[in-house]
Amino acid sequence: MSVMRRTFLPRVVRLGAMKPNKLTIDVTVNHCVRTLLIGLALTGCGGGGDTVFGTDTFTFSTISAGNAVSCGITIGGNGYCWGNNTAGELGNGTTTSSATPVLLSNRLSLGAVSVGKSLDRVDQHSCGLTRGGVVYCWGYNNFGAIGDGTKNNSLVPVPASAAHTFSAVRVGGAHTCAMTTTDGAYCWGDNTYGELGIGSQTPSLTPIAINGGLSFVAIQAGNNFSCAITTGSAAYCWGFNFYGQLGNGLTSDSNNPVPVTGNIAFNSISTGGTHTCGIAPSDTAYCWGNDAWGQLGDGKMGTSLIPTAVSTALKFTAVSAGSYHTCGLTSTGAAYCWGKNQVGQLGDGNLTDSGIPIAVSGGLTFAVVSAGNDHTCGVTRAGVAYCWGLNSSGQLGDGTHNNSSVPVPVTQ
């Protein structure tokens, strides 16, 4: 998952070498403009800035890689997803999987998207945040992670039941967490290990406030655990802790937020399958938790119950923890990955695991990188979206089902 302290629209990027289609004004309805692009109709009507308004040149502003699904948002606010769709993960009203991007239903104007990467199953859910601050979710919902008060799968985006204006949303394995514009934190869905942070293991089908009275500037949901950063740059985690992914020096689960050990200030944080990573103000990357595949990047291939520095002289501006691997970006936009690499998710052209950061092949300059379950996606500063790794469900978006150990461009 890509990590941001606040929800915002990153650098505008163009997918591939496509040129913007010519725009023609169709009609004006109820003071809203309806526009037509060649081959794509977009509706710009509705309140709160939550429906698509204006043009869409298939230019992505962000991207998220999950288990067997990837999703991205265009500068026009449209959401596209590709990959597995057995439970409605693509949000287009069908259960037909697609190896190329398909448009989300409801024409929502989205500013952020997050895709689940459960370790237990292929079926996932995803969530998006409209520019008006409303969370919409779709896909697998056996645990209530969509937040609409039911356990019914949804083939199209539906709003989470909450009277709040949200500024960020993050999807875990079977739960979801979001942050409000007033720095409050809410989670919903499965709570078997205390991942909702409400002081108990009672699940919730709708958003419920996290215990502790803390004010947060960033939040993340992992596989059965969650983490956040306070306004004072302190990291807190809660939920499943068998591998020490809460970073408090213990292996016992916690139903409440507990501070990460080490008194390290963090600018950003990212939760994976069974490990966590964050970036300090010095641009040093730290990771903790399970290191069986080298995903902590410290070269030891073990487990760490507290933050340990990634073994490199590189300085990172962003980090994304996947299920069993991790990727980061330097200030120059160079992408590095480390950890499990059995299907090429590190993107270095090989299938060898690495306990330290290795450069992604191709010399590409990235603006965004997102580590999923067994694949990774990113968007370059030059405007091209790429994915690499496992492609059994078409999650690389290149129109094939062939794995790739190097970045391949997403196709329309």
> What gap in Å lies between CA 312 and CA 291, rounded to an integer?
16
| pLDDT in the model for residue 22 | 28
Q: Are 116 and 171 in contact (CB under 8 A)?
A: yes
Residue 137 has pLDDT above 70, yes or no: yes
Please report, in angstroms and rounded to a whole number, the separation of the first and last CA atoms in the chain: 22
For the chain, give every domain's residue range.
Answer: 23-409
Do residues 379 and 368 lie in contact, with contact meaning Cβ atoms separated by under 8 Å? yes
Q: What mean pLDDT, rounded, does the chain reach?
A: 87
Looking at domain 23-409, its CATH architecture is 7 Propeller (2.130)
CA triplet 66, 272, 121: central angle to 5 degrees?
50
DSSP 210: P
Written as six digits, the tokens of 39 are 């081959």
Residue 3: which of 71, 63, 60, 80 has the closest Cα?
Answer: 63
Residues 6+ apart with CB under 8 A from 80: 71, 72, 73, 74, 101, 102, 103, 104
Q: Which of 43-47, 168-172, 284-288 shows the lowest per-residue confidence on average (mean pLDDT)?
A: 43-47
CA–CA dist 203, 238 (Å, integer): 15
**Strands of 385-389's sheet, edge to edge?**
366-371, 375-380, 385-389, 404-409
Strands of 134-243, DSSP E: 135-139, 154-159, 166-171, 175-180, 185-189, 204-209, 216-221, 225-230, 235-239
132-159 mean pLDDT: 97
- Residue 375 pairs in a beta bridge with 389
313: tokens are: 């002289």
> Which amino acid, 300?
K
Which band of pLDDT confidence, cut at 50, 70 and 90, is reported for residue 30? very low
CA–CA separation, 394 vs 143, rounded Å?
A: 25
Lowest model confidence (mean pLDDT) among 75-79, 80-84, 228-232, 268-272: 75-79
pLDDT in tens, 191-240: 999 999 999 999 999 999 999 999 999 999 999 999 999 999 999 999 99
Q: How do 69-74 and 60-65 pair as beta strands?
A: antiparallel
Token pair listed for 382: 């030059």
Report the pLDDT value the prediction gives residue 31, as an integer from 0 to 100: 26
Distance CA 237, CA 247 (A): 7
Query: pTM for the full model?
Result: 0.87
Residue 73: count of CB within 10 angstroms of its CB:
26
State the pLDDT at residue 57. 58
Q: In the predicted model, is pLDDT for residue 103 greater than 60?
A: yes
Q: Which pLDDT value is given to residue 56?
A: 52
Pick the most confident of 45-54, 57-66, 263-272.
Answer: 263-272
Higher pLDDT among residues 380 and 408, named by residue: 408
For the CA atoms of 176, 118, 390, 342, what is the dihedral angle to 10 degrees?
Answer: 130
What average pLDDT does the segment 62-73 reach? 95
What is the average per-residue pLDDT within 24-28?
Answer: 24
Residue 28, Cα to own-chain centre: how many angstroms? 36
List the one residue out of 82, 106, 232, 219 whose CA is nearest residue 159: 106
- Give dist(CA 377, CA 390) in Å, integer: 11
Confidence of residue 41 (pLDDT cuts 50, 70, 90): very low
For strands 216-221 and 225-230, give the pairing: antiparallel
Q: If you ran DSSP here, which 8-state letter would residue 347 be given?
A: -
